[in-house]
Amino acid sequence: MRSRIAAFARLLALATVATCTDRQDPMVPHPETSTTAETGGDPVFVGAGDIAECDRNSYNTDTLLQGIAGTVYTIGDNAYPNASDADFANCYAPTWGKEKARTFPALGNHEYYLGNPTGYYDYFGTTGFGYPNGYYSYNLGSWHIIVLNSGNPQIVPVDAGSPQEQWLKADLA
């Protein structure tokens, strides 16, 4: 239950900081393998957290995801139990990994269970996605999307005055 509440809180935070803007250039480059299939109209933005547990639910949500066009986001805890390279290969890749080219991921606490988010960056890459601190922004149509990192505040501080807060203020300026 606690992880579901934390996931909801991250989603709420993500929705709160998604703002409209006329800027069209991404703040951080997304890997060239990515695509955003937005062609006029309102953007489609679909995602979740606590995704890949190597169970039937991961495959069920993947089936739903495949039927929805647009940009995919994650709000952390992408591969269970520890977000290791093996967890990404065995749990995430066969399900939500099918949509990797259109996915903008976020770090969660599970990505830090092994000490650092190596599995996350090995899977998603270090180009874009705010490497090595895990916070970044991008534009989707007229929306400016901000991805913050609250996965492990001891490694990436979230306090007032932290580098993440300073980056956020500059990004919103």
- pLDDT above 90 for 150: yes
pLDDT tens profile 124-133: 999 889 999 9
The predicted structure's pLDDT at residue 132: 94
Q: In what order do the strands lie in the sheet with 71-74?
A: 45-48, 71-74, 103-104
Q: How far is CA 108 from CA 33, 43, 71, 79, in A?
A: 23, 25, 19, 10
Residue 94: both structure tokens together: 């066969």
pLDDT grade, residue 3 (50/70/90)? low
- pLDDT above 50 for 117: yes
Domain spans, the chain: 2-172
pLDDT tens profile 68-114: 999 999 999 999 999 999 999 999 999 999 999 999 999 999 999 99
R_g (Cα) of the chain, nearest Å: 15
pLDDT tens profile 23-69: 333 344 333 333 344 456 789 999 999 998 888 888 899 999 999 99
